[in-house]
Amino acid sequence: MSKAGLKRLVRPLVRKLHPYVYGEQPKIKGLIKLNTNENPYPPSPRVLAAIRAAVDGRLRLYPSPTAQALREKLAKLHDCKPENIIIGNGSDELLALATRGFVEPSPQSIVQSPKSLVQYFTPSYSLYPVLADIHGAAKNAVTLKPDFSLPGIAELKKGSGEPPEGGTPNKWDFDAALTFVTTPNAPGGRGYKTSELEKLCRAQKGVVILDEAYVDFANENAMKLALKFPHVIVARTFSKAYSLCFQRVGYFVGHHDLIAALHKIRDSYNVNGLGQAAAEATLGDLKYYRANFKKIIATREWLSRELTKLGFRVLPSQSNFILVQPPRFTSQEWQRQLRERRILVRWFNFPEVRDYLRITIGTAAEAAALVKAVREIAAAS
Ligand SMILES: Cc1ncc(COP(=O)(O)O)c(C=O)c1O
């Protein structure tokens, strides 16, 4: 079959889809990897032991389809019932499930009704528009304020500012089928007050997902809103704060009717057994992780101060990364020069963040190496 013939076998929607752009996962060793918000500290020794102990003849069996034991442990932690929880193959899987479960596809992705609308702030997690596109849903990207804070309800009602490049008019839709809010914001890092989020949730008619991927590094979390409002779901992950990216475990907490709807459409065994074992053991050793949060936050504050002294504009962060505007040359050029010095940071080619670099908080030694490299680059320019 010709190349053109093969192309025609793929749905037009998929042919023109712009997929999610991953951060680089380098093939060479010895790089300082500050580009994908991974945790610099390993999982706790108890978690590693639990994973090793689970590697035996049981690998021939299917794991718990509902991750029952893990949901029970999480229910205790969040003071809710296992019926309020669904586990995913990373929270990414659940964000996709929510799009499929709560949003009507729309021909040519045109807004025909709020029922087919996926809404989110920009900048925020760049996966949301991709999920809407995969599903053939319409998108409403509304810009955050210039300092990446949330517009108030009155501002959202009125609509403000310029629409994002290629985006829809900058007007919030309180009836949108699905609204994603990244809190703390990514890639900005800014934390949002639960009281602000509550106002937004109260005004919103469709499902709201508060994506708290980075919340363990923040001052506040909004879990109580998922237990208070039936249309609000909180998304969490073991990837970032709990050093388990490799295992792919995330979860939603929300009203049991919404959670039950998502259980209906997930794969039967969507969370692998070793991931379930690792996440369960993680919950048994939270003290270890809380000590790591403290170290990461202390390094974040140190690095922010040092980079500020070197002429970077550093946005306040409540996450395990900082968004910075570098001096002298472009962000892309800084990224290239840092890579030459074996340090990976993230540059996003999106209009609202093109002038910034996102730097994951590593160990204190990694942060010191970054500052040294920045000084050398600045001195050589
Ligand atoms: C805001 C946000 N939400 C969710 C995720 C997905 O996390 P995971 O699928 O590893 O649980 C990420 C990962 O980068 C993220 O930045």
Summarize pLDDT for 99-144 with one digit per residue, the tens.
999 999 987 777 778 999 999 999 999 999 999 999 999 999 999 9
Which amino acid, one-letter code, is at 51?
I
DSSP for 209-246 reads EEE-TTGGGSS---HHHHHH-TTEEEEEESSTTTT-GG
Integer Cα distance of 40 and 21 in angstroms: 22
pLDDT of amino acid 158: 86
DSSP three-state, residue 204 = coil
Atom of ligand 1 nearest to the CA of 238: 11
Residue nearest to atom 3 of ligand 1 (CA): 213
Summarize pLDDT for 150-179 with one digit per residue, the tens: 999 999 988 865 655 555 557 899 999 999
**Which residues contact residue 229 at a Cβ distance below 8 angstroms, ignoring those fewer than 6 apart?**
201, 202, 208
Q: Which residue owns the Cα nearest ligand 1 atom 12?
A: 213
The pLDDT of residue 171: 87
pLDDT at 23: 84
Ligand 1 atom nearest 249 alpha carbon: 11
Statement: residue 352 has pLDDT above 90:
no
Measured from the CA of 240, which atom of ligand 1 is nearest? 10
Residue 180: the pLDDT is: 98
Going by alpha carbons, the residue nearest to atom 15 of ligand 1 is 213
Q: Where are the beta strands (DSSP E) in the chain?
A: 32-33, 85-88, 117-122, 138-143, 178-182, 207-211, 232-237, 250-253, 313-314, 321-325, 343-344, 357-360
- The strand ranges marked E within 103-241 are 117-122, 138-143, 178-182, 207-211, 232-237
pLDDT(280) > 70:
yes
Q: How many angstroms does the Cα of residue 234 sit away from the middle of ligand 1?
A: 13
Ligand 1 pocket, mutate which of 211, 246, 346 (most atoms under 8 A from CB): 211
Which atom of ligand 1 is the closest one to the Cα of 37? 14
> Using CA atoms, how far apart are residues 25 and 95, in angstroms rounded to an integer?
22
Average pLDDT of the residues of the chain: 94
Distance 91 CA to ligand 1 centre (A): 6
Least confident of 14-28, 116-130, 261-275, 285-299: 14-28
Q: State the pLDDT at residue 275.
A: 98
Q: Pocket of ligand 1, candidates 35, 99, 125: which has the most ligand atoms within 8 Å of its Cβ, to mutate?
A: 125
Of residues 161, 160, 229, 168, the one with CA closest to residue 194: 229
Q: Is a pLDDT exceeding 80 seen at residue 336? A: yes
Measure 251 CA to ligand 1 centroid, in angstroms: 11
Q: List all residues whose CB is within 6 A of at least one atom of ligand 1.
A: 37, 90-92, 125, 182, 186, 211, 213, 237, 239, 245, 250
Atom of ligand 1 nearest to the CA of 88: 11
Q: How far is the CA of 213 from the centre of ligand 1 (A)?
A: 6
Q: What is the mean pLDDT of residues 234-256?
A: 98
Pairing of strands 313-314, 250-253: unpaired
Q: Give the rounded percent of residues in the chain with a pLDDT score beyond 70.
A: 97
The proportion of the chain whose per-residue pLDDT surpasses 90, expressed as a percent, equals 89
Q: Are 22 and 11 in contact (CB under 8 A)?
A: no
pLDDT value of residue 169? 58
CB 144 within 8 A of CB 150: yes
Q: Encode pLDDT of 192-222 as tens digits.
A: 999 999 999 999 999 999 999 999 999 999 9
Residue 376 Cα, ligand 1 centroid: separation in angstroms? 33
How remote is the CA of residue 278 from the centroid of ligand 1, in Å? 18
pLDDT at 170: 74
With the most atoms of ligand 1 within 8 angstroms of its CB, the residue from 35, 91, 124, 348 to mutate is 91
- Contact (CB, 8 A) for 200 and 172: no
What's the pLDDT at 160?
Answer: 63
Across the strands, what pairs with 210? Answer: 181, 234
